[in-house]
């Protein structure tokens, strides 16, 4: 029995970064060296290996740090595109600056409504990846993602 892996779209990174105007959706990071964007990546909300498509609505432009934290489930996003941090995440140096300062805040949104993260992908990440429960955020119900 032979199964074929879904092919990745080589344009996915460029499409997602362009949709987010070449900045991290969490912190706004956009360092360049000449014309090259450094440490800015296209993260799948629903992972490619789990059947997530290579489309803008399943992607977030994230700096390398926030990409790793998102993929490990240290934070997720709500259906209203706000970042929520896991109660299980903790640390000293960098924890407040790079995670807690963004907890409960809206992410930078893509430039077009059609590129906004789709609810089905957000829910997949929240249930399959996020290391919940989330920390308390006024006005956000933990069952809303």
Is the pLDDT confidence value at 9 over 90? no
Longest CA span, the chain: 51
- Strand, helix or coil at 52? coil
Centre a 10 Å sphere on the Cβ of residue 126 and count the other Cβ atoms it contains.
Answer: 22
Residue 43 lies in a domain: yes
Residue 60 lies in a domain: yes
Is the pLDDT confidence value at 57 over 80? yes
Residue 141 or residue 125, greater confidence:
125
Over residues 75-81, mean pLDDT: 96
Tell me the residue range of the domain where 108 lies: 12-135
**CB of 58 closer than 8 Å to CB of 44:** yes
Residue 31 lies in a domain: yes
Which pLDDT does position 134 carry in this prediction? 87
Total of domains in the chain = 1
**Per-residue confidence band for 21, with pLDDT thresholds at 50, 70 and 90:** very high
Residue 6 lies in a domain: no
Residue 144 lies in a domain: no
**Per-residue confidence band for 94, with pLDDT thresholds at 50, 70 and 90:** very high
Residue 40 lies in a domain: yes
Residue 77 lies in a domain: yes
Residue 145 lies in a domain: no
């Amino acid at each position: 029995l032979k199964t074929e892996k879904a092919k990745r779209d080589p344009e996915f990174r460029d499409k997602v970064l362009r949709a987010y105007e070449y900045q991290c959706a969490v912190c706004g990071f956009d360092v360049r060296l000449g014309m090259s964007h450094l440490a800015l990546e296209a993260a799948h909300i629903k992972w490619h290996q789990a059947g997530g498509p290579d489309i803008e609505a399943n992607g977030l432009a994230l700096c390398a740090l926030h990409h790793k934290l998102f993929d490990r489930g240290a934070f997720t996003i709500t259906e209203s595109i706000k970042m929520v941090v896991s109660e299980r995440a903790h640390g000293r140096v960098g924890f407040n600056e790079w995670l807690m300062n963004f907890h409960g805040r809206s992410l930078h949104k893509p430039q077009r409504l059609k590129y906004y993260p789709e609810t089905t992908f957000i829910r997949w990440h929240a249930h399959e990846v996020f290391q919940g429960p989330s920390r308390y955020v006024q006005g956000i119900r933990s069952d809303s993602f």
